[in-house]
Amino acid sequence: NNYDTQQGNDEMYSLNNGIKPYWSKLLTNFDNLGITGLTARQKDIDWLLSENGVTYNVYNDPQGMHRPWNLNVVPFMLHQNEWAEVEAGLKQRA
């Protein structure tokens, strides 16, 4: 593996290029689904968002309002310690 994690933060790989433990189960499930399964799930997500009219507005934008909301089949995962920092910041600002 020639992936360089020294240049910045990487959510999935640790500094020694190993996969962080809390990503392992998700990646195993992705392997089991294969590209066909992941593609099918992404299509389902896209359809559900469209069917339910999930959009967001960019006011005063020439492209207009009601842009479709995009949701990736790959979640953004945080370790509980990382989430605790985010949570504290959100509570502070609430």
- What is the tens place of the pLDDT at every residue in 15-25? 777 888 889 98
Domain assignment present for 26: yes
Domain assignment present for 25: yes
Residue 36 vs residue 69, higher pLDDT: 36
Residue % of the chain over a pLDDT of 70: 90
pLDDT at 6: 63
Domain that holds residue 35: 21-93
Amino acid at 4: D
Average pLDDT taken over every residue of the chain? 87
How far apart are the C-alpha atoms of 25 and 23, rounded to whole Å? 6
Domain assignment present for 10: no
Domain assignment present for 13: no
First-to-last alpha carbon distance for the chain, in angstroms, is 43
Predicted TM-score (pTM) of this structure: 0.69
Q: Give the count of domains, the chain.
A: 1
Residue 16 vs residue 55, higher pLDDT: 55
